[in-house]
């Protein structure tokens, strides 16, 4: 079977390359607004599945991977900042606090129509940050397209005093340990050679 990543994220595509398996990418077109009274775990699982389904409708003989992530600070969802000012405000709020990442992961088998969805969590504890440290970090890493306003794979690691979770890639937006488990349940093992 083929692999398809239902995402427009270059970060997720880079993570998926770790499996050393060929895959295609298709950006899904879905409504990403949260529903009233929807909790964060339900939100990311719904969007991950919606992304996978939207792309699965266009494929045959394919395992379609969808993922969505939200980070929360004391229950408040922090989105992608988009501007330096918004990033500065987010990092100031995060200073000294724990940030929780919820990552929804969906896998749709277009042949059997099997759908699987899991939600993984990961936590990071921020250092007490000064205004100068925040401004320097934003200037150097430009994390404007990252939820929580940081790039952990770059200088963003210097913002933390601790990280907690069972799978570091959950923080990056594509929980690879869970993904391999889902793929194997569909008969696709990255440790075996697959014919196209």
Residues annotated catalytic, as ranges: 68
C-alpha–C-alpha distance, residues 60 and 169, integer Å: 28
- Integer CA distances (angstroms), 41 to 17, 45, 87, 124, 170, in order: 26, 6, 24, 17, 13
Element (H, E) at 99: strand 98-109
Q: Look up residue 189 and give its two tokens.
A: 């093992």
CA distance 179 to 65: 8
What residues have CB less than 8 Å from 138, skipping those under 6 apart? Answer: 84, 87, 88, 91, 149
- Separation CA 78–CA 95 (nearest Å): 14
Answer whether 101's CB lies under 8 Å from 41's CB: no
């Amino acid at each position: 079977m083929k692999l398809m990543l239902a995402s427009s994220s270059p970060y997720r595509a880079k993570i998926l390359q770790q499996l050393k398996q060929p895959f295609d990418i298709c950006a899904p077109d879905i409504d990403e607004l949260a529903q009233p009274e929807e909790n964060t775990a339900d939100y990311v699982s719904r969007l991950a599945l919606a992304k996978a389904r939207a792309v699965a409708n266009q494929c045959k003989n394919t395992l379609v991977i969808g993922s969505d992530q939200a980070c929360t600070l004391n229950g408040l969802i922090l989105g992608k900042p988009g501007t330096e000012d918004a990033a500065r405000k987010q990092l100031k709020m995060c200073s000294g606090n724990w940030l929780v990442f919820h990552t929804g992961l969906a896998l749709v088998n277009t042949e059997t129509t099997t759908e699987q969805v899991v939600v993984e969590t990961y936590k990071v504890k921020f250092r007490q940050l000064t205004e100068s440290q925040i401004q320097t970090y934003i200037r150097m890493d430009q994390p404007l397209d990252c939820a929580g306003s940081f790039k952990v794979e770059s200088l963003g690691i210097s913002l933390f005093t601790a990280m907690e979770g069972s799978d570091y890639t959950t923080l990056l937006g594509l929980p690879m340990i869970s993904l391999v488990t889902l793929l194997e349940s569909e008969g696709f093992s990255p440790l075996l050679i697959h014919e196209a």
